[in-house]
Structure 1
Amino acid sequence: MTEVRRALLGVDIQRDFCEQGALAVAGGNTVAVRTRDHLLANRGLYATTIFSMDHHKPPPHTNCGHFALTTEPNYTSSWPVHCVQGTEGARLHPAIEEVEHLIDHVVRKGDGTQSYSAFEGVTEVEGAPSSILSVLRSAGITDLDVCGLATDYCDLATVLDARGLGFEVRVLVDLTAGVAPDTTGEALAKMQQAGAMLVTVKDIDATT
């Protein structure tokens, strides 16, 4: 029987995606605080912890159409300018910054590309660029707990990629928030159809 080795994967819990940010998701601040509290209380559950961050080039770079610079954003495939490299909005939420010492890897994505999944990002390992998949394989990870923003876009893409790569996935639904109720519901259904489990932190507490 394969030993379960679990990682926590926090997706894009950045200032621009939380209330008062450039592309705010309702409930983003709550997700950040709850994720901080979960990590503080349960760091021992995880063999490694990884957080992804949008890391976009500033205008006039178009990030392959990700930013709507000359038209109104459609909030489906084009978005207001957000998480620009070197800005306050691109930083992790202050609650997550409080527990940065508990984060093993930060993965940056969207550097000149339209990226949603954390698996499209790059981190550094011993001074060299590395993919999130390489980090997970090196750590012998079999299972992922996924949380973060936003449920219906970057969370969804990350979960689908993780399942496609063979990882068992739990989505910590009370540590997520979506852009809109209808697309959030559709995203959660797609995650389940792909084989991910939808759980809450209380569900985890009951099994530990």
Structure 2
Amino acid sequence: MTVRVNYQTTAVIDVDPEKGFTELCPDELPVTGALEIVPELQKNHTKGRLKLVSRDLHPPKAAWDAETPANMLEPVGLPNVDIKWNRHCVLGTTGAELLDGLPPVLEYDFQVNKGMDPDAHPYGIFFHDSADTKTTGANEFLQFHNIDTLVVGGLALDFCVKTSVVQALNLGFTVIVNLASTRAVLPDTVDSVITELKEKGTIFVDNADEILVEKLA
């Protein structure tokens, strides 16, 4: 399918496109095929007037750190930490760097650094807490610039991308997810995630070429 967007009222969001989610950092959270999304993220950037990026930017020790990889996904039970993860995307390490081929962070129009508090591991770009009450400022930035449509990609589909999409929908945005620009931590969940997000109103395209841009005033 194809979908048309107004360039002036569309923004592009790269959710956590970091090396810590790739095979470049095998002891962190490598997502199969993560390095393949860069060309599609680059194409996404041509679809909207503004570009936003979020990054997991974690401390060296945090409440979600798994003792071993076998402990990953075990429940933690804190208000803003749901489950354990391998240590990943720590500030100052390779894992926190953006994927090669993407713009430097400061060339994006807006950035969100999340998970800097060791007792909070948010997934979405819009809020720093699990209850969606502590804003990151991304929504306010988009509203100020009269953005109504978002093109979303990044890592990973079943966690941070999914949460960012749900938050955006709840905030009233039209959301388009380019499937070629995202991958899942747990590939077996992809179909269920897509079904759930479609039911909430998300538009999916197979690649960026299916997003047709109209440069209206």
Relative to the length of structure 1, the TM-score reads: 0.82
**How far apart are 1:13 and its partner, in Å?**
0.3
In structure 2, the partner of 1:119 is 126
Superposition pairs for residues 187-202 of structure 1, below 5 Å? Answer: 187-199=193-205, 200-202=207-209
Unaligned runs of 5+ residues in structure 1 are 122-128
Moved more, 21-30 or 69-78: 69-78
1:108 maps onto 2:113 in alignment: yes
| Counterpart AA for 2:32 | A
Once residues 70 and 95 of structure 1 are traced to their aligned partners in structure 2, the CA distance between those partners, rounded to angstroms, is 32
Whether the 8 Å contact between 1:55 and 1:109 is mirrored in structure 2 is yes
Aligned residues: 191
More helix by proportion, 1 or 2? 1
In structure 2, the partner of 1:126 is none
Once residues 19 and 31 of structure 1 are traced to their aligned partners in structure 2, the CA distance between those partners, rounded to angstroms, is 13
| Counterpart AA for 1:153 | F
Once residues 44 and 168 of structure 2 are traced to their aligned partners in structure 1, the CA distance between those partners, rounded to angstroms, is 21
Moved more, 23-32 or 180-189: 180-189
In structure 2, the partner of 1:9 is 13
Whether the 8 Å contact between 1:67 and 1:73 is mirrored in structure 2 is no
Structure 1 residues 186, 33: CA separation in 2 closer, same or farther (over 3 Å shift)? same
Matched residues, percent identical? 28
The higher relative CO (CA closer than 8 Å, separation ≥ 6) is in: 2
Structure 1 residues 111, 166: CA separation in 2 closer, same or farther (over 3 Å shift)? same
**How far apart are 1:80 and its partner, in Å?**
0.3
Moved >6 Å (runs of 4+): none
Whether the 8 Å contact between 1:47 and 1:139 is mirrored in structure 2 is no
Once residues 9 and 16 of structure 1 are traced to their aligned partners in structure 2, the CA distance between those partners, rounded to angstroms, is 18
Superposition pairs for residues 46-125 of structure 1, below 5 Å? Answer: 46-59=48-61, 61-62=62-63, 66-69=64-67, 72-75=70-73, 77-97=83-103, 100=105, 102-112=107-117, 113-121=120-128
**How far apart are 1:134 and its partner, in Å?**
1.1
Relative to the length of structure 2, the TM-score reads: 0.79
Q: 1:30 aligns with which of 25, 30, 36?
A: 36
Whether the 8 Å contact between 2:43 and 2:208 is mirrored in structure 1 is no
Structure 1 residues 32, 73: CA separation in 2 closer, same or farther (over 3 Å shift)? farther
CA RMSD after TM alignment? 2.4
Once residues 114 and 205 of structure 1 are traced to their aligned partners in structure 2, the CA distance between those partners, rounded to angstroms, is 35
